Structure 1
């Protein structure tokens, strides 16, 4: 340790307030998991909760309800983590403080491919959804970045958001055009489109796991390079970073995470935006720590939104995509007003 340079020692130091933020977040995550298992159209008591978790021989209705909610909770945590990390990567790659899959049109591109698959190829399984959604997300990302890069100044934050908004509007119109003449497609698609984790099952989780692992590994390994990119391309090149490669690989990780989550849970917005901004505000700009903390925060936000949707919509449920949009839209307006569209 004594042989390390001053800059190397600084790199090994934890960000300010890291442990003060990490410990409460872990505790909050535990509370969210218990709330997700206990609350819904039927509220389960502590004893029944413990029976459902630790006593498989107990076969009461309440214990069975808890066991059914375990799958939903795990699926919710995975989707929230994926969307949180995807938002962190997108903001870093584009150097745009309000970049998010829903804002840049990536979710809508995934939606278009899924609805076309339902309408023209009669797809219905999670495996088919996920590949179509990822393909749509990748092509939409390339298109939005290409449009946003045109003209003087390259891909500025403002141009990327405008390109994403315009692309999202066009693709949404195409989604409607495909659905309207096909009532059966509309019935199947409308439940997916609103964004919900209630359809999650063990097959969905098994399908999601490889994409989640690959996306998280990409995020972790590109974090140091993205930190260098935040200093500017010239500085990053001087530090030996291949800027084009880092951007491409990080963007691929973001699209994998976003596309997989969107395919299985529907286009849930604002999770990446909220999670990353909260963590950046609390611990600073270091992507090596923002990425895992955004995963944790995204899981918390989505789980809380799911619980709120179940409570507010009782005896039915309010889909989580509606809850996140209701909460996220005002926060997006505040962030936009304060950020004034400047780059990260």
Structure 2
């Protein structure tokens, strides 16, 4: 299954380089990739090369990283909360990142140097609020109530972020398009800024995958196997904050990826968190890049923000999970 998903991802990545909202069509884009674009003016050839190499290639690579990070973060958050509806966008983690970035920019911080770290701190605060809500009596055991609590947190942080945008015109101008989630206009330098965070999150995820699988069997079983449940939870919080904060910094708050991808991965791999995480690696970017391609084509010559499209995809999945008579076992 992993090989099949990886092959599908490779095809989608190729389509991402070939299709766009501008005048450069798929045939010319393919010729550019093959180095055989002839019979055109020098200006058109230069423009075509710029579109493929400087616009489509960076957003495709960033889509790969963002999809992997959000898919893995969603699976980890659902596992530690023991709730299939625990998703960074639904529970306020992404909103915490966005709010932290807006505050930093309002205070005059440089977006180029501080956005990633500030967004990660905001995501960490959101994660702590999620776990605090999960431990409240009557909330943690009720998936719908947990989502409602997360919606309240997201709404509050979203309202505060909107207030900042209304008060500070400079901040509004800088993050107006970013705040709805998009890969458009991203540069390869943005990818370089988040790669250390992605590497750190990946290493820690590998280390905690086995203890997290044991924790799914119960705390007593995990302790009997030599693991420390509280330490595992703290590490999961840190990893989710790192991954969600970094992706929010580079692409804005993209909702529902952390819900759709783990849901599909569990359907294919079963309840084992290790297999789920493994399948999230190709599934996450497959969903993100596919949605990004559609966002370029549906309203040509303009583009639809990626966050809007992922919300349209994720909302039916959310309804499906909520209406299920029996929620997936985590």
With structure 1 as the length reference, what TM-score do the two structures score? 0.87
Deviation of 1:44 after TM superposition, in Å, equals 2.8
Deviation of 1:342 after TM superposition, in Å, equals 7.1
Question: Following the alignment from structure 1 to structure 2, what is the Cα–Cα distance between the partners of residues 27 and 213?
Answer: 23
Alignment partner, residue 238 of structure 2: 252
After the TM superposition, which residues 283-302 of structure 1 pair with which residues of structure 2 at under 5 Å, given as runs? 283-302=269-288
Alignment partner, residue 67 of structure 1: 53
Deviation of 1:92 after TM superposition, in Å, equals 0.7
Structure 2 counterpart of 1:44, from 9, 15, 25: 25
Alignment partner, residue 27 of structure 1: 7
Question: Following the alignment from structure 2 to structure 1, what is the Cα–Cα distance between the partners of residues 294 and 37?
Answer: 31
Alignment partner, residue 13 of structure 1: none
Structure 1 alignment gaps of length 5 or more: 1-20
Deviates more, 1:51-60 or 1:231-240: 51-60
Per-residue CA deviation, residues 160-202 of structure 1 (Å, 9 max, x unaligned), is 3233122112111211222212223222222110100113212
The answer to whether the 8 A contact 1:148-1:163 is kept is no
Pair 1:152–1:327, CA change in 2 (3 A): closer
Question: Following the alignment from structure 2 to structure 1, what is the Cα–Cα distance between the partners of residues 125 and 223?
Answer: 28
Deviation of 1:340 after TM superposition, in Å, equals 5.3
Structure 2 alignment gaps of length 5 or more: none
1:234 and 2:214 aligned: no
Deviation of 1:153 after TM superposition, in Å, equals 8.1
Alignment partner, residue 171 of structure 1: 157
The answer to whether the 8 A contact 1:148-1:159 is kept is no
Pair 1:152–1:302, CA change in 2 (3 A): closer
Question: Following the alignment from structure 1 to structure 2, what is the Cα–Cα distance between the partners of residues 86 and 233?
Answer: 22
Question: Following the alignment from structure 1 to structure 2, what is the Cα–Cα distance between the partners of residues 63 and 116?
Answer: 38
Pair 1:278–1:43, CA change in 2 (3 A): farther
Count of paired positions: 322
Structure 2 counterpart of 1:115, from 102, 109, 116: 102
Question: Following the alignment from structure 1 to structure 2, what is the Cα–Cα distance between the partners of residues 153 and 342?
Answer: 18
Pair 1:316–1:223, CA change in 2 (3 A): same
Alignment partner, residue 84 of structure 2: 97
Deviation of 1:136 after TM superposition, in Å, equals 0.6
Deviation of 1:54 after TM superposition, in Å, equals 4.5
Deviation of 1:57 after TM superposition, in Å, equals 9.4
The answer to whether the 8 A contact 1:44-1:62 is kept is no
Deviation of 1:45 after TM superposition, in Å, equals 3.4
Deviation of 1:302 after TM superposition, in Å, equals 0.3
Deviates more, 1:244-253 or 1:144-153: 144-153
Deviation of 1:50 after TM superposition, in Å, equals 4.2
After the TM superposition, which residues 100-249 of structure 1 pair with which residues of structure 2 at under 5 Å, given as runs? 100-125=87-112, 127-151=113-137, 157-249=143-235
Pair 1:281–1:342, CA change in 2 (3 A): closer
Pair 1:341–1:187, CA change in 2 (3 A): farther
Pair 1:291–1:314, CA change in 2 (3 A): same
